[in-house]
Structure 1
Amino acid sequence: MSYITKKIDNNEVHFSTENFVSRYWLSLKFRGKRIHEINVTKLLLDNLEPSTCFVDIGAHIGYYTIIASNKLAKGEVISFELDKTNYNILNKNIALNSCSNVTAHNIAITNYVGNSSYSTSAILTSAMCYLTDTKNDKKVGKTVETITLDEFFKDDYSKPDVIKIDVEGSEMNVLNGMEKILDRKKSLTMFVEVHPTLLKRKFNSSSKEVIEKLIEKGFIVQQIMNIRGKKEDLHFKEIDSDSKLGYNTILFVKK
């Protein structure tokens, strides 16, 4: 198997380059000595305790899944990826790194249990995948099984400790499908990538709605600045219900 190796948090991690999708993505994210989203990477790792349960929603090819797995000596990683191509690469990367504490699912997390169609980039399939806002419509694009996070964790709502959400505009659907987790967890850390344009265009929602939901549930919300910078420079901007996000933003959300 062909792959590249990067050193992240003093661990060597490997990513498959057998597929064009992964080669293209990795060439952009790891150009030279660059570490993908270096400030988010550092903050995530700093918030993982050895026994943490990390949930990766929108795992793509597994970057955050793999680095979290390496950090969690006694914990576990549960990953969800809706696109089959990405999911297959994700599993290759899990095997390549011998991540025995990872469970991956080819399922979309949203606000209902069933099936959904989803769309991919016309130029580079699997680079940007998002659910359509139509339940059980098998005529549009590809289809995927859907579930809510509450339903998935119905036997133990307290299980997730750290959650990463990157769902290309479906943020509100994910949050609305995890009400019991949001209400019952006394301590929860989330990394929520907010896509204002897709929220509005695809889901008739907004970044304001996402922020208000999080604040209503008792979270402190901060914007991680310089998320795609080349050098480590971690700092935050406080976010409140009047804040406006005009571009893709990763929120650090904690209670």
Structure 2
Amino acid sequence: MEHCGRGDLRREIVWSPDDIGKHEWRLFAANLEPQRLGKLVRWLRAIVPAALADRLRSDTYRYMVGRIARADVIKTPKYANTKQLGSVKVKYGAYEKAISEFALSVFKSAEFTHEPQVVRYLIGAVDQKCLFVDVGAHFGYFSCLAAVRGATVIAVELQRTLCLNIEANALMNDQWRVHVLCAAIGAVPGVTQVERMDPSPGKQATEKGLRPNTYPLSSVNHEIVPVVTLDSIIDPRATAEFDRIIVKVDIEGAEIIALRGAARTIAERQAVFVVEIHQQHVATFDGTVEEVLDHFPDAGWTMTLMTDDGEKVVTREEFLSAAGGYLDTENICVRFEPRR
């Protein structure tokens, strides 16, 4: 049986129920939210033969039970609030002091918006046809915003405590398209170690947590986390499924390592990159600001400065020029978009 849209599959169930295969049904059901799954099960019981309804209900039920079980084991944040970000409302919470000190400044103030330039861009750029890869996701600030706008999100964070907080924030927003990956983004696959410390923004990266180290694997004071590349995440399946892929990289100087592991994605110009360049930390990872820019030559990419006050398209020479004064800013948010 050929692939059908949702409406076509419903008609097929009624007209030719014996032609519905388990694999096709599971693909269909996997894309439905729990409320729609429940509604569909009730519809099946009224329309299709009992034996088929029982089989399809069984295949559907596992998705609902899986979500309930996931919600049962996720800790409820100690502090929570709803943040108005432009036209979008997002729920955020935190249950650990180091997270809450940062998070509370973000979502408790009605006037303050963290990195408004990125918020504005995401609100206008992401939708259900978008894959958003949030590298350095912290407590899920951008991940949840993108998910509420309809995007599928891969939130990459190397601090396990923060990963749990991302899971909690995604659950508060009922956003099951947020997929949390506890990993470091690197130039080559492998494993690395990070200290078990309080989950402070950027502290792991600036402590050289991604660089080769000599800590024994038996250390009880370090987490062992996988290292994955952006090329391994943005694979042919991702490029085939989504109309737009946006990669946000904010990892305190380690952006130079992340980009080294995105050579194919960049060469094939398969994604938009929103990169926060931490010029004061890039050297920690044996890189330079110039090398960050080398990945995105002017011939194939446009370069847009993203500031609180607005955006400005610049060339490499303009960006590096002392006259421009751009490098006087410690953390510079830049968007690289493929030329078409």
The verdict on a shared fold, with TM-score over 0.5 as the criterion, is: yes
1:112 aligned to which of 184, 188, 204: 188
Quote how far apart the aligned CAs of 1:94 are.
0.9
Quote how far apart the aligned CAs of 1:37 are.
1.2
Structure-2 residue corresponding to 1:38: 116
CA contact (8 A) 2:99 2:200 kept: no
Write out aligned runs for 1:80-99 (5 A).
Answer: 80-99=156-175
Counterpart-to-counterpart distance in 2, 1:243 and 1:51: 32
Higher relative contact order (CA 8 A, sep 6+): 1
Structure-2 residue corresponding to 1:163: 247
Q: Does 1:64 align with 2:148?
A: no
Q: Does 1:252 align with 2:335?
A: yes
Structure-1 residue corresponding to 2:230: 149
Write out aligned runs for 1:46-57 (5 A).
Answer: 46-57=124-135
Report the residue type matching 2:157 in the other structure. E
Do the aligned partners of residues 18 and 197 (structure 1) sit closer, same or farther apart at CA in structure 2, a change above 3 Å counting?
A: same
**Structure with more of its chain in strand, by fraction:** 1
Q: Does 1:5 align with 2:5?
A: no
SS in 1 for 2:212: strand
Structure-2 residue corresponding to 1:207: 289
Counterpart-to-counterpart distance in 2, 1:209 and 1:250: 16
Structure-2 residue corresponding to 1:224: 306
Counterpart-to-counterpart distance in 2, 1:154 and 1:7: 34
CA contact (8 A) 2:128 2:152 kept: no
CA contact (8 A) 1:85 1:126 kept: no
CA contact (8 A) 2:298 2:315 kept: no
Size of the aligned set, in residue pairs, is: 243
CA contact (8 A) 2:256 2:287 kept: yes
Quote how far apart the aligned CAs of 1:141 are.
5.1
Deviation digits for residues 30-89 of structure 1, max 9, x if unmatched? 4342111112210122122331111111111000000000111xx411111111111111
CA contact (8 A) 1:86 1:126 kept: no
Structure-1 residue corresponding to 2:201: 127
The sequence identity of aligned pairs, in percent, is: 21
Deviation digits for residues 77-113 of structure 1, max 9, x if unmatched? 1111111111111111111111111111101111111
CA contact (8 A) 1:4 1:17 kept: no
Do the aligned partners of residues 235 and 185 (structure 1) sit closer, same or farther apart at CA in structure 2, a change above 3 Å counting?
A: closer
CA contact (8 A) 2:162 2:199 kept: no
Deviation digits for residues 142-183 of structure 1, max 9, x if unmatched? 432111111233443625611101111111211111111112
Q: Does 1:29 align with 2:112?
A: no
Deviation digits for residues 111-134 of structure 1, max 9, x if unmatched? 1111113368x8x64322213321
Counterpart-to-counterpart distance in 2, 1:157 and 1:196: 31
Structure-2 residue corresponding to 1:229: none
**Unpaired runs of 5+ in structure 2?**
1-75, 321-326
Q: Does 1:191 align with 2:274?
A: yes
Quote how far apart the aligned CAs of 1:214 are.
1.5
CA contact (8 A) 2:185 2:228 kept: yes
Report the residue type matching 1:225 in the other structure. T
CA contact (8 A) 2:131 2:246 kept: yes
Normalised by the size of structure 2, how large is the TM-score? 0.65
**Unpaired runs of 5+ in structure 1?**
227-232
Structure-2 residue corresponding to 1:17: 94
Do the aligned partners of residues 38 and 114 (structure 1) sit closer, same or farther apart at CA in structure 2, a change above 3 Å counting?
A: same
Please identify the structure whose Cα radius of gyration is greater: 2
Of stretches 235-244 and 40-49 in structure 1, the one that deviates more from structure 2 is: 235-244
